[in-house]
């Protein structure tokens, strides 16, 4: 229990979706560990999601929207695609279960392990976009478009192991470090490290959100990636791991 | 294809949140499902202006607008007398502390711009701060405060 003011539903919904600005998300992430009522509210939202999907209500809404859009603008540029598949539902349910289970386990505040961390520095991502004259540094939240060639840099800040991946508006995951393999890899001991491969943005809509998850020991990638697709990572990370994010907005082209 | 929008993915990700919001405000399952579809159709129509960094914020605000419009239309169709309305407000307080506020707001909704109604609901019913309401609606904090003052003035005249 807590005597602090309740968090409005809308903020909790957006927190679960990973769409609260960091300044608003951080206090909620901290509070989850000490506020059982808040944890219950989050779990209830997860159960509600599952229930709405299991009863076909979300599919019904998608069908209705598809029909209305098709009727309203049969020649428009909007291409309606059905994305839902049985495998996706299973994956989403699994990811949500992982996230909730981890949240439930994390009943005490996380503590950072010491090691060779650089005091005051946190791991971070930097993205560079190829331009005609060379490259430009992108700001978090910058607008990007299909065909943009971006290169990812990371600041390890003394963390030993890490993984970098991105999730796009279709919730498709792209692994950047390592490109293959199921475990976090050793990070270079340099102030900033550029990945060898550039990454070309495709036509996925809405956004491309990059995650840099670090720890002092090797860790499995799959549960982290699944959790990132279903809920804010800050709520789902096991003890000892931390993450940095970097979002690109995808330009909507009619 | 440029501009292609995956409707299935959009509804799958945000549908539960939007439907819960519509249910909360409309208290009618069929109407909530219909309103939820309205919300996504509007977002798709306005996708060029979509804040793709935080689409949930826009979706939540549009859901609020859509539902409030439906509540307003419902009130216009029903046209209850002032005596009936006052009786409803009086009864509501015993059942749920927020119901009387909601009914009073329903009454005010017919007399103020749509954006003021949305501001009032986000602030008074949802508990967002003025700064959070401003971020959701795209208005300045000063503008939000002014709109709420105007609503309170109307409320003072009502009571």
pLDDT in tens, B56-92: 888 998 999 899 888 877 766 554 444 454 444 444 4
Cβ separation of B40 and A61 shorter than 8 Å? yes
CA trace torsion A28, A31, A35, A39 (10° rounding): 40
pLDDT tops 80 at residue A43: yes
Q: How many helices (H) and strands (E) does chain A have?
A: 7, 10
Report the predicted TM-score, pTM, of the whole model to 2 decimal places. Answer: 0.50
Q: How far apart are the first and last CA of chain A?
A: 49
CA angle A51, A106, A243 (to 5 degrees): 90
pLDDT tops 90 at residue B34: yes
- Taking residue A109's Cβ as centre, other Cβ atoms within 10 Å add up to 10
Q: What is the mean pLDDT of residues A11-24?
A: 87
Cβ separation of A8 and B128 shorter than 8 Å? yes
Query: What tokens appear for B158 in the block?
Result: 């009502």
At a CB cut-off of 8 Å and minimum separation 6, what does B12 contact? Answer: A53, A58, A62, A83, A84, A88, A92
Query: What is the spatial distance between Cα A57 and Cα A151, in angstroms, rounded to a whole number?
Result: 40
Query: What is the spatial distance between Cα B85 and Cα B68, in angstroms, rounded to a whole number?
Result: 18
The CA radius of gyration of chain A, in Å to the nearest whole number, is 19
Query: What is the spatial distance between Cα A231 and Cα A179, in angstroms, rounded to a whole number?
Result: 23
Task: Give the confidence band of A71 by pLDDT, cuts at 50, 70, 90.
Answer: confident
List the single residue in B7, B24, B54 with the smallest CB-CB distance to A81.
B7
Query: What tokens appear for B159 in the block?
Result: 């009571």
Residue of A nearest to B7 (CA): A80
Cβ separation of A253 and B7 shorter than 8 Å? no
pLDDT attached to residue A95: 38
At a CB cut-off of 8 Å and minimum separation 6, what does B124 contact? Answer: B101, B105
Task: Give the confidence band of B36 by pLDDT, cuts at 50, 70, 90.
Answer: very high
Measure in Å the smallest separation between the Cα of B127 and chain A Cα atoms: 6
Query: What tokens appear for A215 in the block?
Result: 């720890």
Q: What is the mean pLDDT of residues A189-198?
A: 80
pLDDT attached to residue B17: 96
pLDDT tops 90 at residue A164: yes
Torsion A174-A180-A185-A191 (CA) sign: negative
Task: Give the confidence band of A10 by pLDDT, cuts at 50, 70, 90.
Answer: very high
pLDDT tens, B98-118?
555 556 656 666 677 777 888
Task: Give the confidence band of A147 by pLDDT, cuts at 50, 70, 90.
Answer: confident
Strand partners, A208: A168, A248
3-state secondary structure of B77: helix
Residue of B2, B20, B67 to mutate for A, most A C-beta atoms under 10 A: B2
Query: What tokens appear for B39 in the block?
Result: 């919300």
Cβ separation of A205 and B53 shorter than 8 Å? no
The mean of the pLDDT values for chain B is 75
- Taking residue A46's Cβ as centre, other Cβ atoms within 10 Å add up to 20
pLDDT attached to residue A132: 78
What does DSSP say about strands A143-144 and A242-250: parallel, antiparallel, or unpaired? parallel
Query: What is the spatial distance between Cα A105 and Cα A100, in angstroms, rounded to a whole number?
Result: 9
pLDDT attached to residue A30: 86
Q: What is the mean pLDDT of residues A21-26?
A: 84
What does DSSP say about strands A242-250 and A207-215: parallel, antiparallel, or unpaired? antiparallel
pLDDT attached to residue B37: 94
CA angle B28, A82, A96 (to 5 degrees): 70
Q: What is the mean pLDDT of residues B30-51?
A: 84
| Chain B CB contacts of A8 below 8 Å | 126-128, 132
pLDDT attached to residue B73: 73
pLDDT tops 80 at residue A44: yes
Q: What is the mean pLDDT of residues A86-91?
A: 32
Residue with tokens 């098709």: A70
Residue with tokens 């959701």: B136
pLDDT attached to residue B105: 59
Distances (CA, A) of A75 to A68, A70, A72, B37: 13, 8, 9, 20
Task: Give the confidence band of A94 by pLDDT, cuts at 50, 70, 90.
Answer: very low
Q: What is the mean pLDDT of residues A237-254?
A: 78
Q: What is the mean pLDDT of residues B142-148?
A: 89
- Taking residue A190's Cβ as centre, other Cβ atoms within 10 Å add up to 10
Give B99 or A203, the one with higher predicted confidence.
A203
Measure in Å the smallest separation between the Cα of B79 and chain A Cα atoms: 30
Instruction: Count A/B contacts: CB-CB distance under 8 Å.
Output: 159
| Chain B CB contacts of A53 below 8 Å | 12, 16
List all residues of chain B from 27 to 86 with a beta carbon under 8 Å from chain A: 33-34, 36-37, 40-41, 44-45, 47-57, 60
What does DSSP say about strands A124-131 and A193-200: parallel, antiparallel, or unpaired? unpaired
A78 and A49 Cβ atoms separated by less than 8 Å: no
Distances (CA, A) of B85 to B28, B68, B82, B137: 20, 18, 5, 30
pLDDT tops 60 at residue A228: yes
The dihedrals phi and psi of A243, each to the nearest 5 degrees, come to -145, 155
pLDDT tops 50 at residue A223: yes
């Amino acid at each position: 229990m807590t005597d602090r003011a309740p968090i409005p539903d809308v903020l909790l919904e957006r927190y679960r979706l990973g769409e609260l600005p960091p300044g608003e998300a951080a206090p909620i992430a901290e509070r989850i560990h000490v506020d059982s009522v808040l944890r219950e509210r989050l779990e209830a939202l997860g159960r509600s999601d599952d229930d709405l999907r299991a009863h076909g209500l979300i599919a019904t809404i998608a069908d209705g929207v598809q029909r209305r859009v098709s009727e309203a603008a049969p020649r428009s540029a909007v291409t309606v695609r059905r994305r839902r598949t049985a495998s996706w539902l299973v994956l989403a349910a699994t990811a949500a279960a992982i996230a909730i289970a981890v949240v439930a386990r994390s009943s005490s505040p996380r503590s950072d392990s010491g090691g060779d961390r650089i005091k005051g520095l946190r791991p971070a991502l930097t993205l560079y976009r190829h331009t005609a004259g060379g490259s430009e540094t992108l700001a978090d939240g910058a607008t990007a478009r299909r065909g943009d060639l971006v290169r990812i840099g990371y600041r390890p800040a003394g963390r030993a192991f890490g993984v970098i991946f991105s999730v796009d508006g279709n919730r498709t995951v792209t692994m950047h470090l390592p490109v293959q393999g199921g475990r976090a890899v050793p990070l270079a001991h340099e102030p900033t490290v550029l990945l060898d491969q550039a990454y070309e943005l495709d036509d996925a809509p809405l956004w491309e959100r990059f995650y840099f998850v670090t720890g002092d020991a090797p860790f499995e990638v799959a549960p982290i990636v699944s959790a990132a697709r279903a809920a804010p990572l800050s709520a789902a990370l096991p003890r000892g791991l931390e993450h940095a994010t970097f979002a690109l907005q995808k330009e909507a082209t009619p | 294809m440029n501009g292609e929008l995956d409707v299935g993915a959009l509804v799958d990700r945000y549908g539960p949140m939007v439907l819960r919001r519509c249910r909360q405000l409309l208290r009618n399952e069929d109407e909530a499902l219909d309103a939820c579809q309205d919300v996504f159709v509007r977002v798709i129509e306005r996708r060029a202006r979509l804040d793709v960094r935080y689409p949930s914020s826009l979706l939540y605000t549009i859901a609020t607008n859509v539902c409030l419009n439906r509540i307003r239309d419902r009130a216009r169709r029903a046209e209850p007398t002032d005596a009936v309305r006052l009786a409803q407000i009086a009864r509501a307080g015993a059942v749920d502390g927020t119901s009387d506020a909601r009914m009073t707001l329903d009454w005010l909704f017919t007399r103020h711009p749509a954006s003021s109604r949305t501001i009032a609901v986000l602030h008074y019913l949802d508990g967002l701060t003025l700064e959070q309401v401003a971020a959701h609606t795209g208005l300045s904090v000063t503008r939000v405060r002014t709109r709420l003052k105007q609503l309170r003035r109307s409320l003072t005249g009502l009571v």
